[in-house]
């Protein structure tokens, strides 16, 4: 017995080492599912507070660029307003057409936006997440889409009262239906973990026409994002192992290295959609 205790004490660091490593790997495999690890992670209020302070400081660095972006965006929107106004004007003069078009007299807002600031950003990891400073108090829920001024950003994966964690599209766990603008065949967006400026669109049908420089947009199939949000631009294409499909290399329009302000998309119809789809699957049995 004494020998055993002496043996244990003599080799205690070995046992401690093995014990700690087992604990670590338990965490890695057990908590890999993101949802379960939330209470220990960065939507956790304390960690969120630390990131908020640092975000407060770093947000001053890019003011000039942000301002420039806003001005451009503003001009773009102004243009659109003018176009729409003239469009409406044309419609109104043709009263017959107006009757045919306006079926719903109550304006229905399908999508609303919540403005938020990025307080922690990661691009160097394999699985990249960002933390933003709006949470359930402001009406953010799981599975909401997040976009920036330039394009798509990611999907909300964890929410605490004041903060949320967004799984970005530069994360191999994210897959998203996208299509080439002007066509209807969706492919799946999947990041390969190498360069944060590029991503791949997989499963693009070979017969479908496209050109380098074409815009890739969201397909709107998921209900998370509306159709037509810009993802990026086709840069290159290569054959997939399966002969009927191509993989397109896409330059992302969102610059993740300098992400500051984002918009969270609230889909007012999402609950209804989910409910409806559930009904079909249960009735189908």
User: Quick one: 48 or 186, whose CB is closer to other proteins?
Assistant: 48
- Do 143 and 164 touch, CB atoms closer than 8 A? no
- Torsion, Cα 76 196 64 77, to 10 degrees, reads 10
User: Quick one: 132 or 229, whose CB is closer to other proteins?
Assistant: 132
| Nearest approach, Cβ of residue 75 and other proteins (Å) | 31
User: Quick one: 41 or 218, whose CB is closer to other proteins?
Assistant: 41
d(CA 157, CA 175): 13
Rounded to the nearest 5°, which phi and psi values hold at 12?
-60, -35
Counts for the chain of helices (H) and strands (E), in that order? 6, 12
User: Quick one: 36 or 206, whose CB is closer to other proteins?
Assistant: 36
Q: Which residues bind other proteins (CB under 8 A)?
A: 12-13, 16-17, 20-21, 23-28, 31, 34, 37, 40-42, 44, 47, 50-51, 54, 121-127, 129, 165, 172, 192-197, 257
Written as six digits, the tokens of 100 are 């045919």
3-class SS at 7? helix
Q: How many CA atoms lie within 13 A of 173 on its CB side?
A: 15
User: Quick one: 54 or 83, whose CB is closer to other proteins?
Assistant: 54
- Do 167 and 129 touch, CB atoms closer than 8 A? yes
d(CA 114, CA 117): 10
User: Quick one: 13 or 99, whose CB is closer to other proteins?
Assistant: 13
Q: What is the Cα Rg of the chain in Å?
A: 24
**Residue for token pair 């507070």:** 49
| Nearest approach, Cβ of residue 131 and other proteins (Å) | 9
| Nearest approach, Cβ of residue 72 and other proteins (Å) | 26
| Nearest approach, Cβ of residue 135 and other proteins (Å) | 16
| Nearest approach, Cβ of residue 85 and other proteins (Å) | 43
| Nearest approach, Cβ of residue 68 and other proteins (Å) | 22
| Nearest approach, Cβ of residue 172 and other proteins (Å) | 5
d(CA 154, CA 45): 21
By C-alpha distance, which of 63, 71, 165 is closest to 118?
Answer: 165
User: Quick one: 195 or 242, whose CB is closer to other proteins?
Assistant: 195
């Amino acid at each position: 017995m004494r020998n055993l205790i002496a043996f244990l004490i003599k080799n205690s660091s070995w046992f401690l080492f093995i014990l700690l490593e087992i604990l670590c790997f338990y965490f890695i495999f057990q908590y890999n599912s993101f949802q379960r690890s939330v209470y220990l992670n960065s939507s956790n209020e304390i960690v969120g507070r630390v990131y908020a302070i640092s975000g407060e400081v770093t947000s001053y660095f890019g003011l000039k660029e942000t301002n420039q972006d806003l001005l451009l965006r503003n001009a773009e929107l102004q243009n659109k307003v003018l176009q729409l106004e003239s469009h409406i004007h044309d419609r109104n003069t043709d009263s017959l057409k107006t009757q045919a078009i306006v079926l719903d007299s109550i304006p229905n807002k399908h999508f609303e936006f919540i403005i938020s600031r990025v307080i922690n950003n990661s691009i160097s990891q394999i699985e990249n997440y960002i933390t933003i400073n709006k949470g359930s108090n402001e009406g953010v829920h799981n599975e909401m889409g997040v976009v920036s001024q330039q394009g798509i950003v990611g999907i909300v994966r964890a929410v605490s009262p004041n903060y949320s964690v967004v799984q970005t599209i530069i994360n191999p766990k994210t897959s998203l239906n996208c299509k080439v603008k002007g066509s209807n065949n969706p492919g799946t967006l999947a990041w390969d973990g190498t360069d944060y400026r590029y991503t791949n669109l997989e499963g693009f049908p070979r017969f479908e026409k496209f050109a380098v420089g074409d815009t890739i947009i969201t397909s709107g199939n998921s209900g998370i994002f509306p159709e037509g949000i810009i993802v990026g631009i086709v840069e290159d294409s290569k054959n997939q192992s399966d002969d009927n499909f191509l993989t397109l290399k896409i330059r992302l329009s969102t610059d993740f290295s300098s992400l500051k302000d984002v918009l969270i998309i609230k889909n007012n119809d999402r609950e209804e959609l989910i409910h409806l789809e559930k009904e079909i699957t249960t009735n189908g049995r």
